[in-house]
């Protein structure tokens, strides 16, 4: 199996470690060579080399550090809950037998459009 196929089958963390191990085998310029072969960022290989030095500190069951990744829009924008509910206020219906069950006649695009009109400072896209 070619090196690139193996690399592509790994998780993000395993890719960093694999690329770092391969680069470490080579003399000066090995990081650039591996970066070109695997089509990956040289900074990712550098990070992998750092992780190899402190391998006992790398969490085994996690791909990213805790708290990594994109934050949810709900966490980023204050008042988004109330704005969302105000948009749906006149566009919901429900089951008279089950008040927990409600629905809307708006599509995701229409909700996005109304959110943008009400909260002009935010841009929503679905």
pLDDT at 126 over 60: no
Q: How far is CA 68 from the centre of its chain?
A: 8
pTM, entire model:
0.47
Residue-wise pLDDT for 6-37, tens only, equals: 888 998 888 999 999 999 999 999 999 999 99
Q: What is the DSSP string of 9-62?
A: HS-HHHHHHHHHHHHHTS-TTHHHHHHHHHT--HHHHHHHHHHHHTGGGS-TT-
What is the pLDDT confidence band of residue 42, given thresholds at 50, 70 and 90? very high
- Looking at residue 12, its pLDDT comes to 86
């Amino acid at each position: 199996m070619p090196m690139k196929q193996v690399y592509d089958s790994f998780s993000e963390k395993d890719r960093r470690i694999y690329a770092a191990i391969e680069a470490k085998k080579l003399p000066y310029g090995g990081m650039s060579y591996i970066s070109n072969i695997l089509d990956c960022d040289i900074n990712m290989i550098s990070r992998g080399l750092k992780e190899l030095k402190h391998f006992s500190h790398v969490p085994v069951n996690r791909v990213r550090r805790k708290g990594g990744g994109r934050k949810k829009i709900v966490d980023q924008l204050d008042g988004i809950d109330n704005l969302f509910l105000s948009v749906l206020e006149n566009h919901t219906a429900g089951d008279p037998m089950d008040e927990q069950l409600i629905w809307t006649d708006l599509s995701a695009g229409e909700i996005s459009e109304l959110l943008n009109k009400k909260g002009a400072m935010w841009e929503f896209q679905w």
